[in-house]
Structure 1
Amino acid sequence: MRKYNAKGRTAMAKLNLKTVNKKTKDQLITFVLVIAVYIVVQIMVAAGAISSLMQGLLVPMCTYSIVAIGLNLCVGYLGELSIGHAGFMCVGAFSSAFCTKMLEGVIGSQIVLFIIALLVGTAMAAFFGFLIGIPVLRLRGDYLAIVTLAFGEIIKNIINVLYIAKDGSGFHFAISNGNAIDLADDGVWLINGAKGIAKIPHLSSFTAGVILILISLFVVYNLVNSRSGRAIMAIRDNRIAAESVGINITKFKLMAFTISAAIAGAGGVLYAHNLSTVTATPANFGYNMSIMILVFVVLGGMGNFRGSIIAAVLLTLLPEVLRGLSDYRMLIYSIVLIVMMLFNWAPKCIEWRQKMAQKFRKNTKKEAV
């Protein structure tokens, strides 16, 4: 009997080792792909093979990829539908831009200034994620989605009525009415209501975006492979069973939601410092932005961070690539969305992909022999 138990344990250990090795290999492929794409793009830019329009899309692609990674942690691994990540992105963008405006004349190095802004924006988004997560994560399903959507709209509307200025006499604050602030000649607007924050230093770059993607991937992969990550997935799969074995539901849900919000805030920092002026308009941080990021996550595959990055890049590039088709551009864009959704989630397509993968493995083994 002991021999059989020993054999069983050995078999289980080998199976677990194979699973771990497969996960590690898959994650390494993601890192290698991101770095390889970065090198190829840099070579193409140096050779003049990429137009200025496409170069302008490099930082937004990185921004959307980062926010999609953060949302995928919440939706794919935690299993909670959030439609308010544009709000966390907005918090990161405005808090970091405010910090940059304050420190612009104090810190000479742009790299140091960007790092400080990044830390501030990420920390503020994490704080709001923690604060909102305490009451919101008691809800489930559609109710949670509605409340997170409301949070995104509240944040956007608060910033639109907030006025902060600075002059020789100190700081000036006002709500709804910027004319109430009597600003001296040497004064500057830090947040000017619906006009947002202007004259932001251009600190974002494609290199900074790729580094933030790699850091985001490192954080989420370490989390999902850790004990805490397994607890989060257990809560997603069966909340009652997870609670029955002593897993602290509130703690781990709040942990995943806070980290997800922090990553979205980092994306907001990159987004704000790529623009000369950032405003809390519906086009920037509204409902459509949250839905667009959710589309990236769903198309790329929930729980699949590499898929989220690929979906974000393709769907950001596609409208610009099809711009020459004028009226048919959005029609083709919609058809591509439907085809991608069917390819990723239709049972017949999944079976076909599995068969093709098996054939590819067999052919590879034959060639190796």
Structure 2
Amino acid sequence: MNRGDPIESGAGRQRLRRAGLAIALLALPLLAQQLGQAPVRALDQALLYVLLALGLNIVVGYAGLLDLGYVAFYAIGAYGFALLASPHLTEQFTSLRAAFPGGLHAPWWLVLPLAALLAAGAGMLLGAPTLRLRGDYLAVVTLAFGEIVRLFINNLGHPVNLTNGARGISPIDDLQLLGHGLGQALTVGPLTLAPVTLYAYVLLALVATGVVVSSRLGQSRLGRAWMALREDETAARAMGLDTRWLKLCAFAVGASFGGVAGVMFAALQGFISPESFSLQESVLIVGMVVLGGSGHVPGVILGAVLLSALPEVLRHAAGPLQQLTDGHLDAPILRQLLIALAMTGVMWWRPRGLWVSDR
């Protein structure tokens, strides 16, 4: 028997599994669309959270830096797209109105890398003063950074109306692909794809790219250096690793994922306001990374999907439980209580996460 046959057959099975997974993912938005608009919107939301969790996993899972202000980069990407792809700026500034009478309306394929670069710069800005901090102290500083960005955006509506303050920015341009706006349904043969379904395919492509980039980073020399930093910073420094550069790089790369997700969020919603970027969102994203398995890409994806889908599942359970309490507990509060209990139970059962890495 040829000694190379087992290897070739193993590689063939792996290719078949990947092909089967790709086909299943391509069919998922169509299957969700058959159930109505709500499941597709839930899928879009889950994919956004997967993209955010992949970015935060680079900071928390790979480098071991607890970041509680990650939502700030999400907001930077969203507002970057909203300002460049809406008529808001030209309505507020006469000089811009004269140069761009119809509004800026920058193309998304140009704003997307710009938002990633802007968020990466903000990540380095956050990382620079925290190079000597770890653990609880780093968490407090990053938490403050997230709140500062949110308050800054909220207060830029006066006296210079740059962000429109708490009222938010609307309308925001749809993404354009091959001359077709994703805000309009697309008919392909016998299939009619709703706008939310079209966005689901774009998000799937971005998530697939994020998975490949994140996995390759984890297997690279840079990823191994991050993991050495995570395990023991003193030992990593003694081995000659530049821990300061490693921290800045982790913050920058992780933040760029948040900037891309922010662009997609703004385009999908068509409206953004500071309320969408609260501390609760940051805590939720951290929970996704920790619940799924910090540092393990498949586990992070699992955690993001579960925590994004759990509120929708518990939405149906909150109603009957509310009746049992004679209406003393509001359904949203009860749903948050059920989510907290579910997370507590899972972390008691699997303290390292649901799907941890063998490394």
- TM-score higher than 0.5: yes
Partner of 2:230: 236
How is 1:1-369 mapped onto 2 (pairs within 5 angstroms)?
35-45=22-32, 48=34, 50-101=35-86, 113-163=107-157, 176-177=158-159, 191-203=163-175, 205-281=199-275, 284-327=276-319, 328=321, 330=335, 331-345=337-351
2 CA distance for matches of 1:210 and 1:266? 13
What amino acid is the match of 1:43?
A: L
Whether contact under 8 Å (2:86, 2:103) holds in the other structure is no
Pick closer, same or farther for the CA change 1:107–1:101 going to 2, 3 Å. closer
2 CA distance for matches of 1:43 and 1:200? 26
2 CA distance for matches of 1:334 and 1:235? 31
2 CA distance for matches of 1:30 and 1:127? 38
Kindly state the Cα deviation for residue 346 of structure 1 after the two structures are TM-superposed.
7.2
Pick closer, same or farther for the CA change 1:107–1:194 going to 2, 3 Å. closer
Kindly state the Cα deviation for residue 90 of structure 1 after the two structures are TM-superposed.
0.7
1 CA distance for matches of 2:224 and 2:352? 28
DSSP 3-state at the match of 2:163: strand
Deviation per residue, 1:55-77 (Å, 9 max, x gap): 11222111111111111111111
1 CA distance for matches of 2:16 and 2:226? 24
Pick closer, same or farther for the CA change 1:230–1:29 going to 2, 3 Å. farther
What amino acid is the match of 1:177?
A: P
Whether contact under 8 Å (2:50, 2:305) holds in the other structure is yes
Kindly state the Cα deviation for residue 149 of structure 1 after the two structures are TM-superposed.
0.5
- Fraction of identical pairs, as percent: 33
Pick closer, same or farther for the CA change 1:231–1:29 going to 2, 3 Å. farther
Kindly state the Cα deviation for residue 107 of structure 1 after the two structures are TM-superposed.
8.7
Kindly state the Cα deviation for residue 104 of structure 1 after the two structures are TM-superposed.
11
Pick closer, same or farther for the CA change 1:198–1:31 going to 2, 3 Å. farther
DSSP 3-state at the match of 2:308: helix
Partner of 2:327: none
Query: CA-atom RMSD, angstroms?
Result: 3.1
Runs of at least 5 residues in structure 1 that lack an aligned partner in the other structure: 1-17, 164-175, 179-188, 355-369
Q: Comparing 33-42 with 208-217, which one deviates more in the overlay?
A: 33-42
What amino acid is the match of 2:165?
A: G
Pick closer, same or farther for the CA change 1:76–1:29 going to 2, 3 Å. farther
Kindly state the Cα deviation for residue 332 of structure 1 after the two structures are TM-superposed.
4.1
Deviation per residue, 1:224-259 (Å, 9 max, x gap): 211111111111112122111211111111111110
Q: Which has the larger radius of gyration?
A: 1
Kindly state the Cα deviation for residue 116 of structure 1 after the two structures are TM-superposed.
1.6
DSSP 3-state at the match of 2:85: helix
Deviation per residue, 1:133-158 (Å, 9 max, x gap): 11123211111100001011111111
What amino acid is the match of 1:340?
A: V
Give the TM-score normalised by structure 1.
Answer: 0.73
2 CA distance for matches of 1:77 and 1:194? 35
Partner of 2:188: none
DSSP 3-state at the match of 2:121: helix
Pick closer, same or farther for the CA change 1:132–1:34 going to 2, 3 Å. farther
Deviation per residue, 1:283-327 (Å, 9 max, x gap): x11110000001101110011121111221122122223323334
Kindly state the Cα deviation for residue 123 of structure 1 after the two structures are TM-superposed.
1.1
